[in-house]
């Protein structure tokens, strides 16, 4: 797959006066009829929309069009949408909504989440729901960016033998290489260190990680498992992130905030 580029802070048409930014939506789908309907609906709601049908067109559109969000069909004829998502996440944090009508829907949801998707829409879906999801994901992305900017001066959090770097979004032990966290893992760990010793319900953690309850219900458990694999000596017998039956999860270690 050719090199993918994230959206830059400046745009080639930055000098063009606009009353408000217009969201740019890139539809990655090789079903021309479906893409045409989706783009028409998106445009009717005041957003720009354009299409890419394969990885080469995706890379070119990211470079030239600088989209704000991707709608990615997992069932392309000649390429695996999950492979495209995996490659994209090595280069960019652009929001991605994945779409699929595959019989392995539930598996695709979990894998897509693990690879960094922001939302999931099973086919067939309502067009009004699609635009609502697009706007919701964009709002969360902007909020996350603003929070990251506010937290740029934040320091580190220490717990157990670990140090959590809030700015770099890594965890590490003294003398060992830092371990990178995904967006979901970072948000989850941030929620835990902000409330040590308190049972946090799945609903609370879903709000903290800004996931849709109807889409990613069990994915909190997946994120917990992934975080345990990075932090626990034995993820099968966790001591840092403990399940409390009927209540949720408890972060057990003492937490020290440092600059």
- Give the model confidence (pLDDT) of 160-191 as tens digits: 999 999 888 899 997 889 999 888 888 899 99
Q: How far apart are CA 23 and CA 95, in angstroms?
A: 12
CA–CA separation, 168 vs 178, rounded Å? 9
Q: Say what the pTM is.
A: 0.58
Residue pair 134/97 in contact (Cβ under 8 Å)? The answer is yes
pLDDT over 60 at 71, yes or no: yes
Q: Report whether 95 contacts 141 (CB < 8 A).
A: yes
> What CATH number has the domain spanning 154-258?
1.10.10.10
Lowest mean pLDDT among 120-124, 148-152, 227-231: 148-152
The arithmetic mean of pLDDT across residues 191-196, rounded, is 91
CATH superfamily label, 24-149: Response regulator (3.40.50.2300)
251's enclosing H/E stretch is strand 248-251
pLDDT tens figures, 84-143 = 999 998 888 899 999 987 656 678 778 887 888 888 888 889 999 999 999 998 988 777
Say whether 154-258 and 24-149 share the same fold: no
DSSP state of 4: P
Domain spans in the chain, listed from the N-terminal domain onward: 24-149, 154-258
Bridge partners of residue 255, in order along the sequence: 159
How many residues are given for the chain? 259
């Amino acid at each position: 797959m050719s090199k993918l580029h994230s959206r830059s802070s400046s745009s080639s048409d930055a000098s063009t006066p606009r009353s408000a930014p217009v969201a740019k939506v890139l539809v990655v789908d090789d079903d021309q009829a479906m893409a045409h309907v989706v783009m028409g609906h998106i445009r009717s709601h005041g957003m720009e929309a354009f299409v890419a049908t394969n990885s080469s067109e995706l890379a070119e559109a990211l470079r030239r069009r600088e989209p704000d969000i991707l709608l990615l069909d997992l069932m392309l004829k000649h390429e695996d949408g999950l492979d495209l998502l995996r490659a994209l996440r090595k280069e960019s944090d652009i929001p991605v909504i994945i779409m699929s009508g595959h019989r392995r829907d539930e598996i695709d949801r979990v894998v897509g989440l693990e690879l960094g998707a922001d939302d999931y829409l099973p086919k067939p879906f309502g067009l009004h729901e699609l635009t609502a999801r697009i706007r919701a994901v964009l709002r969360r992305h902007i909020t996350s960016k603003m929070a990251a900017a506010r937290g740029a001066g934040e320091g580190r959090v220490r717990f157990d033998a670990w140090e959590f770097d809030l700015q770099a979004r890594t965890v590490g032990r003294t003398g060992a290489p830092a371990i990178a966290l995904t967006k979901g893992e970072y948000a989850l760990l941030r929620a835990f260190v902000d409330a040590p010793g308190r049972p946090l319900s799945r609903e609370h953690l879903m709000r903290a990680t800004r996931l849709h309850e109807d889409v990613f219900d069990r994915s909190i458990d997946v994120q917990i498992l992934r975080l345990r694999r990075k932090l626990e000596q034995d993820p099968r017998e966790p001591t840092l992130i403990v399940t409390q039956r009927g209540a949720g999860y408890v972060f057990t270690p003492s937490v020290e905030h440092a600059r």
